[in-house]
Structure 1
Amino acid sequence: MRLIQLSDDAGKTRVGVVDADGAQVRVLDSEGGMYALAVAAIAAGRSLEAQVEATPGQARLEYPGLLRDGRVLSPLQHPDPAHCLVTGTGLTHLGSAATRDAMHKKLQEQAEEGTLTDSMRIFHWGVEGGMPPPGQPGVQPEWFYKGDGDILAAPGAALDSPDFALDGGEEPELVGLYVIGPDGTPHRLGYAIGNEFSDHVTERQNYLYLAHSKLRACAVGPELRAGALPRDLHGTSRLLRDGAVAWEKPFVTGEANMCHSLENLEYHHFKYAAHRRPGDVHLHFFGTGTLSFADGVRAQPGDVFEIELPDLGAPLRNTLRTAASAFAPGGVRVL
């Protein structure tokens, strides 16, 4: 089932069910958007899909028009952005089978020579222990914090890069969307396309700057895919400049292309009690293996990032914009 969150004619947030052909959406009558729908499903002991089927709604809107008019919102938000935690895991993707085989041999050689970097060592641990049997913990991945709900850019909106940033580049990823139930149980609503967006120049200066490089805006959507997810997902990431394709590359994701199972990544995020606070929303990026920056491309203000993953619906598009920082050295007041 393909779902979106949209702003209706009265400016209220609602959930829409996307038709199979992507031409129209059926708008549910219930107000409060995806979060309210998920809370109702948890209270009723239903799946999200069952809750949608139990929710009336006959109004229909043209989907391309909603996207064009900027009325499609991020697929999951919390009414209070401070209760939305945006995080991610890195060093999780293997790439193609040929690359996987070559990488594994290289890792074995470096391990024997004692020349593994810290990053490659964590990746090696993932290759060896990131796919445990169901119900068992595997090796923990690299983990990072991006921000709260205020850093989310809606589909089609500008993706702001602060003026102190050294770079702003796309990261096409799969995102898990979660609501924590009243008893502290995480409930996964489904998955969406994500542009994790990072400052790769800052990160490349020193890997200890990774935390700084991740504190940036990001985008998720436009659609939430409920239900089972294919193990092998193929998409395309593009950088559009002045209406033309400046860079384009296919990418793969899904468990068939990863060294960690999604269950293992979820376990190592939600094992912390602070990440199971009832009522909170979590948006978790599962990593990528494809970047324009890795191919020597530097995005510029005005460039459009386009991430297409057909199994998750319509593409995610956002325009890069530089935003002035509202804080300067000496800006802290003494009380």
Structure 2
Amino acid sequence: MSIIFECEYQGRRYAGRGIPATGDSLTLYPVTDGQLRAALVAGGGPGNLSAAVPEGSEPIEVELGDAGLKFLPPLLPTASNNSLINGFMGTHRSKFDRAPEPDEEFTAPNYYIKGFGSWLRLPDEPLTTQPDPVWLLEEPEVVLVYANDDRGVPHYAGYTFGNDLNDIGLHLKNPWAWTPYAKLCETSIAPWLFLDAPPEKVTGTVTVERDGGTAWQGGFSCGADSLFHRIPDMAEYLFSHPLLRQPGLVNYLFLGADKATYHDGFRIENGDRMVLDVSSHGVVLANQVRYGDSISK
């Protein structure tokens, strides 16, 4: 499978291939903001993204641990901030008391808008929550990435993985009204963009670390084989709304999560470190929880 990423180094934007391992050096190719999006929409598919990476100036070599290296969310338009974090809720089969019928009529799942793409956090960055969350829940999810062309037509770029941290306790107090507040926790995303169709099978392990030890651990699945809803149906329905077809928009679409810490009665606390090991795809997404400050009076 092909994987690309973008990053910033010494004030310039670069792109590279693959998922680097500890101790690796990275071969980085200079790109401009929006160059990969333009390649995607010109060719109509993820294959053009891979072809666009090695074009342009001579590459540079950078060590993975270089302090000047900063990875970016896939295709993030830093100049315009024309990007959106959004997603679906209640999509997994584990949250239904039956299996879907093969020809069952599509019913759209609940949907939310989280914020701008610039709000996304990367691996090892802290995730800030409300000052006094009721009950936090990590959510390992597949994230589909779409980029609209200049006419507003969405083009699928590929997928990555994210952690949609949220306050499920607040949500459950008033599901009809308080869900948008519950979602106002920072969200993390892996910078690696997989240039393939949405994955059928994704498995991994969540580990919550506290005071240097393991406080909770459990498995998860979030591929298409774990979903009650069909991914093409969800995407088609979502993009039937013209507001999501703004020219140039990059869309980070979270597909929902399986049951996790909350469903096991475990509470995530301030300072805990959530480690999402997507072992099926070689991706690790780790972030520390940080309670936000209250407004000064």
Name the TM-score class by shorter chain: 0.7 to 0.9
1:12 deviates by: 2.0
Residue 41 of structure 1 deviates from its aligned partner by 3.1
Residue 229 of structure 2 corresponds to residue 260 of structure 1: yes
Provide the C-alpha distance between the structure 2 equivalents of 1:92 and 1:280, rounded to a whole number of angstroms: 24
The answer on 1:279 being equivalent to 2:278 is no
**What secondary structure is seen at the aligned counterpart in 2 of 1:266?**
helix
Cα displacement (A) at 1:26: 2.7
Q: Which residue of 2 aligns with 1:236?
A: 205
Q: Partner of 1:204: helix, strand, or coil?
A: helix
Segments of 5+ residues of structure 2 without an aligned counterpart are: none
CA deviation vs aligned residue, 1:224-281 (integer Å, no higher than 9, x gap): 1112343111111111112222111111121111111111111121110000001111
- Residues 156-189 of structure 1 deviation map (CA, whole Å, 9 limit, x = unaligned): 1110012143333311111111111112211111
CA distance in 2 between partners of 1:269 and 1:327 (Å): 39
Counterparts of residues 73-88 of structure 1 (less than 5 Å): 73-79=72-78, 82-88=81-87
Q: Encode CA deviations 1:73-99: one digit per residue, 9 max, x unaligned.
A: 32232225652111110111124xxx9
Which position in structure 1 is the counterpart of 2:48?
50
| Equivalent in the alignment of 1:305 | 274
Partner of 2:36: 37
Task: State the AA in 1 paired with 2:122.
Answer: A
More helix by share: 1
Q: Is the 8 A contact 2:127 2:288 kept in 1?
A: yes
Over the aligned positions, Cα root-mean-square deviation in angstroms equals 2.7
Question: Equivalent residue for 2:120?
Answer: 152
SS at match of 1:207: coil
Q: Matches of 1:224 and 1:196 in 2, distance apart?
A: 17
Distance in structure 2 (CA, Å) of the matches to 1:213 and 1:327 = 22
Alignment correspondent of 2:61: 60
Q: What pairs up with 1:73-112 in 2 under 5 angstroms?
A: 73-79=72-78, 82-95=81-94, 103-104=97-98
Aligned residue among 177, 187, 190 for 1:218: 187
Contact 1:87 1:284 in 2 (8 A): yes
Counterpart of 2:111 (choices 116, 121, 143) is 143
How big is the shift at 1:297? Answer: 1.4
Could you say what secondary structure the match of 1:201 adopts?
Answer: helix
Q: Which has the larger radius of gyration?
A: 1
- Report the equivalent of 1:2: 3
Shift of 1:132: 5.5
Q: 2:167 aligns with which of 173, 195, 199?
A: 199
Aligned to 2:16: 16
CA distance in 2, matches of 1:184, 1:327: 42
Tell me the alpha carbon deviations over residues 201-236 of structure 1, each in whole angstroms, 9 at most, x when there is no partner.
Answer: 101212122222112211111311112343111111
Tell me the TM-score normalized by structure 2: 0.87
2:220 matched residue in structure 1: 251
Contact 2:274 2:287 in 1 (8 A): yes
Q: Retained in 2: the 8 A contact 1:26–1:61?
A: yes
Taking structure 1 as the reference length, the TM-score comes to 0.78
Q: What runs of 5+ residues in structure 1 fail to find an aligned partner? A: 105-126, 329-335
Superposition deviation, residue 51 in structure 1: 3.8
Displacement of 1:327 after TM fit?
Answer: 7.7
Report what 1:168 is aligned to.
136
- Larger deviation, residues 246-255 vs 53-62: 53-62
